[in-house]
Structure 1
Amino acid sequence: MIVRERDNEFVLIQQDHHAQIAGDILKQWKSDYFEGAAYRQSVEYAAYQHDHGWKEFDKQPFLNDKNNKPYTFLDFPELPKIILYKHGIDEVERVDSYAAMLCSEHYKRFMLNSTSMEAQAFVTQEKMRQQAIADSKDKLNKRLFNFHYGLIQLADNLSLYICMNEPGAAKQQEHPFFKEGIQTNSALHSVCNKRLQVQWRDTSTVTIDDFPFEGPIEVTLKQKVLSKDILSSKGLIKSYEQAPFEDLSIIYTAE
């Protein structure tokens, strides 16, 4: 779950909904800038499905009993997180092995610095999964794979930007992740800047200084807003299930 806290409310965004935005962004990547066009469908599928493992978890969010706030994807306990990561990759692999390889790389990197046995076992298993998929391909190009993974990272971060910041937020009010812009994977530096400067022009428009997309991208951000008072009286799951979705239309465009 992605969570923004306000004075008297929490804004909750399901990870799978965030991933749909990432997919919509990536679909608009300029054709001339896309290396390995034969893989494009798989790369786009990976963007849309990269958070598949969170899909059922986020329908009934978990409460962090230490601070009485909903758990976010950043502080969610590691061991159940590993289970949902693996489940999500498994489900993607049933449909598209190359997309699963990209999702595997995405989650493997999250666990590289963890010292727990479970995390290190996950990293080892995902390395084996990736090698098995690579072995099944004819001359898989590692440089091309890194380019495609860089696209997943960029689409993920551009989607997170509108999820983790209040619409129209001034630069100094942004989440620390984004105040210096969005760093891009080195594999993309031949087609876009090393760091993209992203900011809100107004409450429904986000500008990007180096715009590697076909044209303005219109997306729908689905969120639920929970009153802290209602959460305290009804509990998190019931409050969340009863709250309506709000649909916000947001456009990414060139600066």
Structure 2
Amino acid sequence: MIIRERKNEFVLIEQDHHAQISGIIMSYWKDSLFSAPEFRRSVEYAIFQHDCGWKPFDTDPFWNDKKEAPYTFVDFPLLPKLVLYKQGIDEVEKNDHYAALLCSMHYSAFLRNEALDEVKPFQINEEQRRERLIASLKIPDPSLPDSHYRLLQLGDNLSLYICLNEPGTTKEQEHPFFCKGIPLSAAFNKIEKDNIQLYWQDKQTIAMDPFPFRDKILITLKQKTLSKDQIASQGFLESYKKTSFCETPIQLMPSYK
């Protein structure tokens, strides 16, 4: 779950809804910047589905009694997180082996610096999975998976920017994840800048510089807003179940600064 806390309420965005936003954004990626277009369908499938393992956990979200707030994707306990990561990659693999390879790379990178002993079997299993998948795929250039994984990572970050910031926020008030923009790795060597800078023009418009997409992008932000009084009187899970999603259209466009 992605959470924005306000003074008297919480805004909640399910992980899979965030992933759908990332997929829509990256489906607009310029053809001229995409390496090995025969893999494009698989890459986009990986981006759309990279958080599918969170679905059952976000349908019945968890309350963090220590923080008196819903658990977020950041502080959610690691061991159940390993379970949902594996389940998600397993689900993607049923439909697309190359997409599963990218999702495995994505989650293994998240856990690279984790010291818990329980992480080691996960990393070993995912390394074996990737070796098996690579052996089954005809990949013309061994650098392609890393290049395509960077697209997944970029889409993830662009969607997180939308989800973690209050619509219309100023640069000074942006979430600290994005104070320097969103980095562009060496995999994007056709783009002459090192970071993508984003600016809220108003509550429904984000300007982007550079803009490596073929056209303006329209996405829908789907979220629930729960008051803290409601949670206190009805309980968190019941409040979440009873609250309807609110859908807000947001446009991403080139910056003309």
Give the TM-score taking structure 2 as reference length: 0.97
**1:138 CA drift (Å):** 2.4
Letter in 1 for 2:61: P
Deviations 1:132-181 (A, max 9, x none): 10011224523111111111011111111010000000011111001110
| In 1: Cα distance, 2:90 partner to 2:141 partner | 23
Tell me, yes or no, if structure 1 residue 134 matches structure 2 residue 134. Answer: yes
Distance 1:141 1:68 in 2: 49
The equivalent residue for 2:13 is: 13
Q: CA deviation at 1:189?
A: 2.6
Q: Which residue of 2 aligns with 1:202?
A: 202
**Whole-angstrom distance in 2 between the partners of 1:230 and 1:88:** 32
Q: Which amino acid letter does the alignment assign opposite residue 53 of structure 2?
A: G
Asked if the contact 1:112/1:120 (under 8 Å) is kept, the reply is no
1:234 counterpart letter in structure 2: Q
Q: Is the 8 A contact 1:143 1:187 kept in 2?
A: no
C-alpha separation in 2, matches of 1:8 and 1:77 = 25
Structure 2 CA distance for partners of 1:46 and 1:155, relative to 1, 3 Å: same
Query: Is the Cα contact below 8 Å between 1:134 and 1:140 reproduced in 2?
Result: no
CA distances 1:218-247 after superposition (whole Å, capped 9, x unpaired): 000000000001011111110001011000
Structure 1 counterpart of 2:177, which letter? F
Query: Residue 34 of structure 2 aligns with which residue?
Result: 34
The residue type paired with residue 173 of structure 2 is: Q
Counterpart CA distance in 1 for 2:247 and 2:208 is: 22
Aligned positions, number = 255
Structure-2 separation of matches of 1:3 and 1:85: 19
Q: 1:192 to 1:134 in 2, by over 3 A?
A: farther
* Inter-partner Cα distance in structure 1 for 2:80 and 2:188: 33
Q: 1:122 to 1:245 in 2, by over 3 A?
A: same
Deviation at 1:192, TM superposition (A): 5.3
Shift of 1:67: 1.2
Q: What is the Cα deviation at residue 68 of structure 1? A: 1.1
Take 1:188 and 1:124, find their aligned partners in 2: how far apart are those partners?
A: 29
Structure 1: tracts of 5 or more residues without a match: none
Q: Distance in 1 between matches of 2:243 and 2:216?
A: 31
User: Which runs of structure 2 are paired with 1:170-189 in the superposition (5 Å)?
Assistant: 170-189=170-189
Q: Secondary structure at the match of 1:241?
A: helix
- The answer to whether 1:103 aligns with 2:117 is no
Q: Give the distance between the partners of 2:139 and 2:153, measured in 1 at CA.
A: 24
Which runs of 4 or more aligned residues in structure 1 lie more than 6 Å from their structure 2 counterparts after TM superposition?
none
Q: Considering only aligned residues, what root-mean-square deviation do their CA atoms show, in Å? A: 0.9
User: 2-side partners of 1:141 and 1:187: how far apart?
Assistant: 13
Equivalent residue of 2:45, what SS?
helix
**Which residue does the alignment assign to 2:23?**
23
Distance 1:228 1:53 in 2: 28
Which residue in 1 is equivalent to 2:239?
A: 239
After TM superposition, the structure 1 stretch with the greater mean CA deviation from structure 2, 77-86 or 129-138, is: 129-138
Cα distance change on mapping 1:139 and 1:252 into 2, 3 Å: closer
1:185-244 deviation per Cα after TM superposition (whole angstroms, max 9, x unaligned): 221132352211112111101111100101100000000000001011111110001011
Structure 2, unpaired ranges of 5+: none
Q: 1:140 to 1:126 in 2, by over 3 A?
A: farther
